[in-house]
Structure formats: C-alpha cells, structure tokens
Structure 1
Amino acid sequence: MTAITDSSSLEALGLRTNDQLKALEKEDKDEMGMDTFLNLMTAQMQNQDPLNPQDSNEFLSQMAQFTAVEGMVTLNENFDALANSLTSSQALQAGGLVGRSVLTEGNQAYFSPDTGLEGELQLDSSTQNLQVRLFDSAGGLVKSLDLGTQPEGPLTFSWDGSLDAGGQAPEGIYRIEADYLDGDGRTPVSTLVPSRVESVVVGKNNEELVLNLTGMGSVPFSSVSRIQ
C-alpha cells in the first residue's frame, strides 16, 4: 500500500485536505459578486410584504452602494497592477546604471592610477584664488591645485595622482577641500565627485533606489546630480 503523505498526492486523486476545504469555503464566503447581490435583491423583492412594499429607491441606493464598493475594489487592483509595473520598470532602468559613473555631492573621491580623479565645483559667484586640496586617509595634505580666478558656474577639476612632495599617489579614497578668497577670508565650495556604480538595490513598495558605488559605499539615488 502506498502512503499518501502530502496534499499534492491528495490533489492528484481529486481530494482535498480539511484545511484546503476550509480555505476554499472562507474564500467563497469572503467574495460576493454582482450576480450574488442581484439574486439576493430579487429574493428580497419576492418575499417582501405586498401590503408594505419596500421603496424602489432603497433598492437603487443599495445597488449604487454595492457598485461603488465593487468599483473601489477594482480600482485598488488596478493600482496594485500599476505599482508592480512601475517596480518592474524601475528595475530595468536601474540595471542600466551598473557600470556607469555618477556625480554625487561629497568631499571624498576614489582615485585610480588608470583613470585619475575628477570632480566638479559649484561656484555661486566669480572667485579669486580658488584652490582644491586633497588629503590621504591619514589626513595628510598630498596635493594642492591652484585654479586662480574663475567665473560663476560649474567648474571641472582633475588630478592625475602626482604628489606635491614628488612621486605618485596610491589607489584609494581621498578627501577633498575646496575654497576661494573673498573679503571675509576663505569661503568653502561644495564639490561633486564621480563614482562608478557597482550595483543597484531596487526598493520595495516604491522605496527609493540605492546605488552601491566603488569605494564610496551606498547612496540614495536622489543624491545623484548627474549620470555620466
């Protein structure tokens, strides 16, 4: 004799477990379609007191309420389908970011001897004696870039890894400081730094994309100023 040990074996014989039957019964009780509603309404009309008939407006009101509820259920289902579609579209777009370079606001950048290091300064006004300084992981100043006088607007700078003391900088993360001279002394400048996208995390329930950047960790997609 072959022992039947799981529900799939029972289903193969056209049978169901008690739990499955109860679940199906609950689904049937929870769902009432328009046909069931109309049958109930017809039965109510047939069994009403002929000497005290129910107002037809009440029937129409009940039908309108049911139709409104059914419409809301359908609308919710459509919204769920739209949300799933948007999530799938978001995942496809996110896949196209992998391997690309993005600019994010920050004061650290990853230097590679193969590609060097580039960044962008956001100048709110024309500047004098503009300077960019790079520091190693120990906090030591390794390079100063004197950019002189510059007009208002974005300004790109680059570093090939050459050190002020001579030699070449090793690969790694470097801290960036930028400022310029004005009447109040030296004023700091915000910097945008490029990083390569290694992977993308697609959030659930319409949560924001998270980018994993080379040497920089994770950043929200909203922090990206430009995709290169």
Structure 2
Amino acid sequence: MSINDTTSTTSSLSLNQILANSSKKTATSSADGITSATNSATGKKALGKDAFLQLLVTQLKNQNPLDPQDNSEFVAQLAQFSSLEGITTLNDSVTAISGNYKSSQALQASSLVGRSVIVQSGTTQVDTTKSMTGSITVPSSVAGVKVTITDKDGKEVKTIDLGSQVAGTSSFTWDGTKTDGTKADPGNYTFKASTTIDNTAVALVTYLPATVNSVTISQTGGELMLNLAGLSSPIALSKVKTIGI
C-alpha cells in the first residue's frame, strides 16, 4: 500500500499565490458587499444622495487591500456626491418656486373675475342700455374709416363713420341704438372696421371691451386664459390691452 504525501504540494504554494487567492476572495467579498449595500440603500428606487453616500462608504470598507482606492478616484466620487446633492437641492428649490408661482396665478385669477378688459377681438357682449367704447388700429393716414355693427344673426344694425384718421389708435363709441334710432337688444355683436388704402379695401384690427367670467389656470405652468362674456374661445392674459374696473 502506498501513501501519498500532500504536505509538499501545500507547502510549495508561493506567497504570491496565497495573496492572489486572498485578493480574489476580498474582491468577491467587496462586490457582494457593494451589491448588498445597493439593494439595501435603493430598494429598487432611484439612487438618491443618501444611497450614494452609503454605497461610497461600503466601497471604502470593502476595498481590495492589494489595490486600494486611488485618491483621485475618491476625490472624484466626492465631487460627484457634491454635484448630486446640489442637483437635489436645486430640484427642491424649483419645486418650491413652481408652487409659489401657481399660488400667485390663483390670486391673480381671482382678482380678474368680474373685471372689464379690452382685448383684440371682433365680437363682444354689449349692454345696449349704455354706451360702449372700442378702438381700432390705423396703419397710416386714411381718408375715411367705417365701423359696421352686426347682430348675432349677421344682420347689420348700424354703421359708424369715423371720417379721416391719422396713423395710430382711434376710438369709437356706440350708444346702443340702431340706424333708425331705436334701442338694440342686449347681446353679442360683431364690429368690423374697414378703410380704403390705395383703392383697396382693408380690414382694421379692433379692440373691444369684455367682462371676465372666469379664468383657467394651467396645471403645467402655462399662461392664464381668460374666459370672456360673448366670446366662445378663451383669450391669453398677454393679449389683454387694458384692464379696467
């Protein structure tokens, strides 16, 4: 019967081989530690600054003794941590500003309801028991300007002759009467201003008063939209020329 001596085989292992095996175990332990820390810190959620710091500490605790963390890499990771924290703080600040902006919009909207505004429009709701004043934009000096008023059925109610006008903004007033002098019924009316330039009929832009019935606040930070009496489509706040009482 023969006996095999394994002592020589074990003793023949060099110091480098032993350290190499130790290095492999350490690297495996380090990887397992970081993986465990990642799962514990994130919980399958987005990596935040607290989780990032926990992973960084775990990485330092489980680093390979034969190949320790390089100083430059450590500083780079700290810089990344600072950047992450700064971005998180910036996001919180932007969220707070957005909330304040929405609150400001709501306050602004509540103050506009029931107010009279002048907007670029050709149609408005008119209370014919009192006079209504509108305006037109004249691009250049012209010999004559006319404003034709029609009711909701498209029937002509009255024509106002403004005569010659210079370039700029000109006002007109309607007292609520028809051509025959009788009072028109309250309701929606359309105003069309026109003139002749170089023997060509030209339509002019009109600005009419309207009452704000309600205000629509954008949930995405967009502009306030005004719902005006007599208008089927809302008007952006930036399109308002004048805000009255």
Please name the residue that 1:225 is paired with.
241
In the alignment, is the contact (CA less than 8 A) between 1:135 and 1:175 conserved in 2?
yes
Aligned to 1:3: none
Q: TM-score, normalised by structure 2?
A: 0.74
Aligned match of 1:152:
167
**Gap runs ≥5 in structure 2:** 1-38
Q: Which runs of 5+ in 1 are unaligned?
A: 1-24
Flag the structure with larger Rg: 2
Using the size of structure 1 for normalisation, the TM-score is 0.79
| Paired residue type of 1:180 | T
CA distance in 1, matches of 2:194, 2:56: 78
Match of 1:79 among 94, 100, 104: 94
* Equivalenced residues, count: 203
Distance of 1:66 and 1:110 partners within structure 2:
61
Match of 1:220, as an amino acid?
A
* 8 Å CA contact 2:53, 2:81 repeated in 1: no
Residues 142 and 165, structure 1, Cα contact 8 Å, conserved in 2: no
Residue 201 (structure 1) aligned to one of 210, 216, 227: 216
Change (3 A) 1:26 1:51: closer
Identity across matched positions, percent: 35
Structure 1 residues 114-129: aligned runs within 5 Å: 114-129=129-144
Contact 2:41 2:54 in 1 (8 A): no
1:189 match: secondary structure: strand
CA distance 1:183–1:46, change in 2 (3 Å): closer
Q: 2:178 maps to what in 1?
A: 163
Please give the alpha-carbon distance, in whole angstroms, between the structure 1 residues aligned to 2:57 and 2:177: 89
Is 2:206 the counterpart of 1:191?
yes
- Which is helix-richer, 1 or 2? 2
Q: Give the AA of the match of 1:192.
A: Y
RMSD (Å), alpha carbons: 2.4
Structure 1 residue 225 displacement after superposition = 2.2
Structure 1 residue 145, shift from structure 2 partner: 0.7
User: What SS does the aligned partner of 2:133 have?
Assistant: strand
Q: Which moved more, 1:81-90 or 1:177-186?
A: 177-186
Question: Does residue 1:48 correspond to 2:82, yes or no?
Answer: no
Specify whether residues 199 and 38 from structure 1 end up closer, same or farther in structure 2 by C-alpha distance, changes over 3 A only. Answer: closer
Of 149-158 and 215-224, the range deviating more from structure 2: 215-224
SS in 1 for 2:202: strand
Structure 2 residue corresponding to 1:105, chosen from 99, 120, 125: 120
